[in-house]
């Protein structure tokens, strides 16, 4: 399978225009776009036969598909992804949409639940899709934590707090993690979690990493000074201690086992610390198309989501829209982005009050 960058370089100007017009036509009408339609739209005068040849090339590349025997084409999931990442022009939020979202701030009830309900209703009404609103992240002592694998590059963390609230957060796990390694990480964290918030738990793990590192350095220094060992990739995330002439260690065998044990413990805690960091991370507006949307398992849907932040620029929640893959992405993306910024400003203001 080609990656998107390679596909883009393989498209000439004519192919790019045909591809863009097919996707835009499909997003507007939901119907396959045929060569005769494109002959009236193209910037250069081309025959229907020439356009059909270009469309066949795009189909061969996996960017277009034929839902019926007819000559019309629709974008594939790969095609939609490439259009969103490389061709889409994002517009401004229309003044009426902005006014509808701003109106959700009218009331000033305590708590954020009613505000988020109004925001969700406004988003749904404006976009004609299902709204997704994730409430601010909770910072209370944790009762239980669990990691659930959703696929090779997607995982869910379930946080159960001491006050009974439950939060689900989706993140990208560190490379090479398996369901069993996630269970081990959760078991380790649950043994420490009682009475601690997520932030306190992260701080505790960081302290343990520092302590193990110091102990490891002290033991390893003696082997290095004696010439029996040397560091490889020192300072890198996964440095190695290479031991030479094990048969000459004699009384040093016990130290070597201790070092090996410390290495294992250090790497385990580093992985767990990375898990905790990733549950706190997020980025700007993200678009999940079709089967990329593993959380909902809706192969025919798209999710446009953006996090919102508090006054300290920490991500505390998210808003989004779920709809068919032929969403008007150029319109939906700025609406979701504007909504996230709006909610963030309101909650930051309340936090200062």
CATH code, domain carrying 317:
3.30.450.40
pTM value surpassing 0.75? no
Residues 172 and 109 placed together within one structural domain of the fold: no
Residues 116 and 248 placed together within one structural domain of the fold: yes
The burial class, CB within 10 Å (0-12 / 13-18 / 19+), for 12 is exposed
If one compares 96 and 229, the residue with the highest pLDDT of the two is 96
Residues 266 and 180 placed together within one structural domain of the fold: no
| Pairwise CA distance, residues 223 & 225, whole Å | 6
Last residue of a domain, one of 22, 56, 87: 87
- Residue 284: partners with Cβ closer than 8 Å, 6 or more residues away: 306, 307, 337
Residues 279 and 301 placed together within one structural domain of the fold: yes
Host domain of residue 28:
1-87
Residues 57 and 21 placed together within one structural domain of the fold: yes
Residues 77 and 111 placed together within one structural domain of the fold: no
Residues 122 and 258 placed together within one structural domain of the fold: yes
Residues 216 and 251 placed together within one structural domain of the fold: no
Averaged pLDDT score across all residues of the chain? 76
Q: How far is CA 211 from the centre of its chain?
A: 32
pLDDT per position as a tens digit, 151-183: 777 788 888 888 777 777 777 787 778 888 888
Residues 106 and 252 placed together within one structural domain of the fold: yes
Predicted pLDDT of residue 252: 46
Predicted pLDDT of residue 260: 64
If one compares 114 and 243, the residue with the highest pLDDT of the two is 114
The burial class, CB within 10 Å (0-12 / 13-18 / 19+), for 213 is middle
Mean pLDDT of 39-44: 86
Query: pLDDT band at residue 250, thresholds of 50, 70 and 90?
Result: very low
Structure tokens at 195: 């009475």
Number of domains in the chain: 3
Mean pLDDT of 26-44: 87
Contact 76, 64 (CB under 8 A): yes
Q: What is the CATH number of the domain that holds 165?
A: 3.30.390.60
Residue among 195, 343, 351, 199 nearest 280 (CA): 199
Predicted pLDDT of residue 248: 40
Mean pLDDT of 59-75: 84
Q: What angle do CA 348, 346, 350 make, to 5 degrees?
A: 55
Q: Are strands 166-171 and 229-232 parallel, antiparallel or unpaired?
A: unpaired
Residues 81 and 145 placed together within one structural domain of the fold: no
Residues 346 and 248 placed together within one structural domain of the fold: yes
| Pairwise CA distance, residues 65 & 216, whole Å | 58
Lowest-pLDDT range of 100-109, 199-208, 236-245, 325-334:
236-245
Residues 258 and 230 placed together within one structural domain of the fold: no
């Amino acid at each position: 399978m080609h990656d998107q960058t390679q596909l883009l370089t393989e498209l000439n100007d004519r192919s790019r225009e045909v591809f863009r017009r097919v996707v835009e036509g499909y997003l507007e009408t939901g119907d396959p776009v045929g060569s005769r339609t494109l002959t009236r739209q193209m910037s250069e005068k081309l025959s229907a036969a020439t356009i059909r040849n270009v469309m066949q090339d795009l189909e061969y590349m996996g960017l277009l598909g034929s839902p019926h025997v007819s000559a019309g084409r629709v974008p594939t999931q790969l095609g939609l992804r490439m259009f969103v990442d490389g061709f889409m022009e994002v517009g401004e939020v229309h003044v009426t949409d902005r006014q509808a979202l701003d109106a959700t701030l009218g009331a000033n009830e305590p708590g954020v639940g009613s505000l988020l309900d109004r925001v969700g209703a406004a988003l749904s009404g404006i976009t004609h899709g299902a709204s997704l609103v994730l409430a601010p992240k909770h910072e209370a002592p944790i009762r239980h934590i669990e990691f659930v694998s959703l696929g090779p590059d997607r995982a869910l963390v379930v946080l159960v707090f001491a006050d009974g609230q439950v939060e689900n957060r989706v993140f990208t796990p560190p490379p090479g993690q398996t369901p069993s390694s996630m269970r081990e990480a959760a078991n380790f964290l649950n043994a420490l979690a009682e009475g601690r918030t997520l932030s306190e738990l992260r701080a505790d793990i960081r302290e343990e990493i520092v302590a193990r590192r110091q102990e490891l350095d002290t033991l390893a220094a003696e082997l290095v000074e004696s010439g029996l060992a040397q560091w490889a990739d020192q300072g890198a995330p996964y440095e190695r201690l290479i031991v030479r002439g094990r048969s000459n260690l004699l009384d040093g065998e016990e130290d070597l086992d201790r070092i090996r044990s410390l290495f294992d413990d250090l790497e385990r805690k580093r992985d767990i610390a990375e898990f905790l960091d990733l549950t706190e991370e997020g980025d700007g507006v993200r678009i999940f198309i079709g089967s990329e949307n593993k959380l909902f398992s809706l192969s025919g849907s798209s999710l446009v989501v953006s996090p919102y932040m508090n006054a300290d620029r920490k991500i505390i929640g998210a808003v989004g829209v779920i709809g068919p893959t032929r969403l008007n992405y150029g319109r939906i993306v700025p609406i979701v982005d504007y909504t996230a910024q709006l909610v963030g400003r309101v909650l930051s203001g309340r936090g200062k009050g």
